[in-house]
Structures are given as structure tokens and as C-alpha cells.
Structure 1
Amino acid sequence: MTVDVVLPCLDEAEALPWVLARVPAGWRAIVVDNGSTDGSPDLAAELGATVVHEPRRGFGAASHAGLLAADAEFVCFCDCDASLDPGLLPGLVAPVADGSADLVLGRRRPTRRGAWPVHARAGNLALARLLRRRTGLRLRDLGPMRAARREGLLGLGLTDRRSGYPLQMVVRAADAGWRVRETDVPYLPRAGRSKVTGTWKGTWQAVHDMRTVLDEPAIVRGPEAAVSPEGGFRP
């Protein structure tokens, strides 16, 4: 079993040593630098990670660049800010590998007060309810820690390159009939300040991006679907 771990990165030099040390042995860490100015890409390379540069700003742009750079059978995604422990990823990969799930998400469980700001948690809860109406999935979190097979992810034809990327992955997986599960993972206070949900403005922008994803019409793909070289859907 081969596994690549995609780690979108924007100025995370403080967290990188801990995060990369927690990536399971034998798995490849792909750090996608999204315009860091604190030396993050050089540090990641020194620590043994594969470094990919994505000049287009956006969580989705960085995440998808990592997916395209991956070549393992399984791909995991994880934040690079030390709020989530990559050492727990085998527990997410296992149900995908044994065929009992197609996409597994880590449901964040804060370990202490302040680890998950109230405004960010409220936005996440509202989106989970909207997701249930749109897809029927009864998820309680839309967190960034997740695992799936690489070829399947490429076949979803993900197009969002902003904050809506994680939600679009779940929506299109549901539309494609994937079995989506979640499992509890501890959520730690992040290192540094969040670029997305650290402020009300950032949270509002993320919710706006995700509402746009929820408004997309369902895409029905038949068994003849293929994956383009760029990682998108081709009829």
C-alpha cells in the first residue's frame, strides 16, 4: 500500500517540524507551498518532504496541486499548522483500503477551549446542515483531514480552487454514490494564526465559497467516465 499526504502550506515554518515528524514511516509528505515568505518550502525540503510550488493563492489550488503531484494508490489531506496529527491518518486510510468506505473524513474534536473558534465552528455546523439537505449525508464536520484513493479523487473533476474545495470533494463524492464516513480526531490549537477561519472575514469568505459549491447542479457520471491528464473529468 502506497500513501501520499498532501499538506497545503502558507507560512507554516513554526509547525512543519512537528507535522512532518508525525507523517507515518514509509508515506510520502507532499508540502504544497502557496506563496510562503517565512522559508517554509526550504525547511520542508530539508526535513525530507517533496515540495510543490503553487503560485495561485487558495486552499483549493494548493490542495489540488498536491493531488496532481501524488502518485500513490491512496492520498490523504491534512492541514500543515499542527492542529491535526498526521500520525492518525492510518485510521482514515484503513476503511478505504479494506473496501468499507470510499472517502473518510476526520471529525474534529477540540482538545481545549479556543482550539476551534466559535465563529468557525458555527459556520461549519451550518454548512453540514446544508450539505445534508443537498446530499443526504449526515456528517457533523467538513474538516480538512481525509483519505481516499487517488484515481477516484481525480475522477471527481474538482474545479474549486478556493475554500470550497473540501466541500466540493464531499458533494461530488456523494453525487457519485461514494460511501462517505467520518471518524473522530483530536483538534489541537494551531501554530500561528489561521489564514481562513482566524477572523470573521475569513470565515465569511469560506462560507461564501462553500455556498457556491452547494448551489452547483449534481453531475451524473456514467461508467464510461475517464480522467483527463490534468486530473479533471472527461466524458
Structure 2
Amino acid sequence: MQEKIRVIIPAYNEEESIGKVIAEIPSFVTEIIVVSNNSSDNTENVAKAAGATVLREGQKGYGFACLLGLDYISKLTDKTDIVAFLDGDYSDYPEELSLIVAPIIHDNVDLVIGARVAALRSAASMTPQQVFGNWLATSLMKVFFGATFTDLGPFRAMRYEKLLALNMEDKTYGWTVEMQLKALKQKMKYVEIPVRYRKRIGISKVSGTIKGTIMAGFKILSWIFKYSLK
């Protein structure tokens, strides 16, 4: 595979899972970048031992971690063709990265979302509020923008220069929906690929708490309504 692919994995206290995630990422990946989002456990040491480049973001927030990863990539001397994102909790199946990047490499697609379809999800892998939130957000995107998205799944990949053109800015819960909304606004070519999804290792820092669920929902809806008015 000639394309240089870098993977960004935001991780907050994922010492039990991060090694498994890294081990199952396909060997064609050029570099695995784990961004420790102010972890207080052994996440960073485990990730380093597994062969990843480890960065530390002191401010908590999924977007903060992703932005630091992109800043690191921007300073590299060698090129990056595709950037992929997945979670560090082992809920995604890292080996399916080949499915995620294939439309970018072969079909000139700009953005690929790994869709956590019901038929491929393990029991209890998504909370009821996650399922409802995804349905509501993607339904609103369909109404306002004619989008065909069905999920805001974190397992995704994008052509690097197209990702730079989005000028991503969200620091917390709205990172995924911001990416999709901006891709829609810029009329980029996108596709969803059904992927498997399992119950994560450990407790979710977002959907596992009432505060996290409310804040994530508020941020996602704010982005949608903000762009619907532009």
C-alpha cells in the first residue's frame, strides 16, 4: 500500500485496552499516534511499549486530543495521505481499518465513517441514549442538509488534505459531528461502511455518566443548528 496512513487514538485512562487496540491495527499503517488525554493511569507506558507514538494533551476533551494529533502530523517532514481515528477502549475492531480506508484509496472518497449498524453491534455495546442520540443527530442532518449519514461513529478516516480544509476546531464532544457537517457544507464525497462494534473495556467517560451524556448531546445539537442557519 503506497498511501501513508496515520492513525490518531485519543485515550483517557485506557491502560487495560490500549495495547489490544494497537496490536490489532493493520501493519500497512505508517504510524500509530496515541494522544493521552491527561491520563492518570499507565496508558502512556502501555502505548509506548506497544510501539505507538505517544503525545500528552493536558486538557481533557476528545477534540483537544484529536487536534494535538493533527498538529503533530502537520510538523512531520514526510507526507501523510490519510488520517484515521478510532477509540482506545477496544470497542472498535482495529483490523477493519482496511475496510475504512479502501473507499478513499480506490474510489476517490474524501471521508469514510464506520457505521455501527445494529446487526453488527454486540449486546449492550451502545447505551440507549447513544442509539437515540445518533438517530436524532443524523435525522436532523438529513432534514437540514440532505445527508445520508446514519451514525456519528468515531472509527473513521479522511484524506489528509481534505481534513485540513475543514479547519476543525471543536475541543470536546462535537468533534465527530463537526467533521461531518463541514464535509457536507464543502460538498465532499463521503460514504459509510458498516463495521462491527463491541462493548468497550471499562466505563465510558461520556455515555457512562449523566453529565457526559447531556454535554455531548448539547454540543452535537448546537453544531447542527449552527450550521443549519448558515
Flag whether TM exceeds 0.5 (same fold). yes
Q: RMSD over aligned Cα, in angstroms?
A: 1.6
Q: Distance in 2 between matches of 1:199 and 1:217?
A: 28
Q: Which residue of 2 aligns with 1:3?
A: 5
* Structure 1 residue 16: Cα displacement: 1.1
- Residue 25 of structure 2 aligns with an amino acid whose one-letter code is V
- Residue 44 of structure 2 aligns with an amino acid whose one-letter code is P
Q: Distance in 2 between matches of 1:53 and 1:89?
A: 24
Distance 1:46 1:119, change over 3 A: same
Question: Which of 102, 107, 117 is matched with 1:94 structurally?
Answer: 102
Q: Distance in 2 between matches of 1:138 and 1:206?
A: 21
Task: Kindly report which structure 2 residues correspond to 1:186-225, keeping only aligned pairs within 5 A, or say none.
Answer: 186-217=196-227
Task: Kindly report which structure 2 residues correspond to 1:21-40, keeping only aligned pairs within 5 A, or say none.
Answer: 21-27=23-29, 28-40=31-43
Q: Which residue of 1 aligns with 2:76?
A: none
Task: Kindly report which structure 2 residues correspond to 1:146-225, keeping only aligned pairs within 5 A, or say none.
Answer: 146-217=156-227
Whichever structure has more helix as a proportion of its residues is 2
2:81 is the counterpart of 1:73:
yes
- Residue 33 of structure 2 aligns with an amino acid whose one-letter code is I
Q: Distance in 2 between matches of 1:150 and 1:135?
A: 24
Moved more, 199-208 or 176-185: 199-208
Misfit runs of 4+, over 6 Å: none
Q: Deviations over 1:35-82 (max 9, x none)?
A: 101110111111110011111211111112112223521000001100
Q: Distance in 2 between matches of 1:76 and 1:63?
A: 10
* Structure 1 residue 133: Cα displacement: 2.0
Q: Distance in 2 between matches of 1:50 and 1:26?
A: 16
Q: Distance in 1 between matches of 2:66 and 2:229?
A: 21
Q: Distance in 2 between matches of 1:88 and 1:175?
A: 28
Question: Which of 47, 51, 59 is matched with 1:48 structurally?
Answer: 51
- Which runs of no fewer than 5 residues in structure 2 stay unpaired? 74-78
Q: Distance in 2 between matches of 1:172 and 1:218?
A: 11
- Residue 37 of structure 2 aligns with an amino acid whose one-letter code is N
Q: Is the CA contact 1:175–1:219 (under 8 Å) kept in the aligned structure 2?
A: no
Q: Distance in 2 between matches of 1:180 and 1:219?
A: 22
- Residue 103 of structure 2 aligns with an amino acid whose one-letter code is P
- Which runs of no fewer than 5 residues in structure 1 stay unpaired? 221-235
Distance 1:203 1:14, change over 3 A: same
Q: Distance in 2 between matches of 1:158 and 1:196?
A: 21
Q: Deviations over 1:145-201 (max 9, x none)?
A: 111111210111111111001100000011001111101101111000000111333
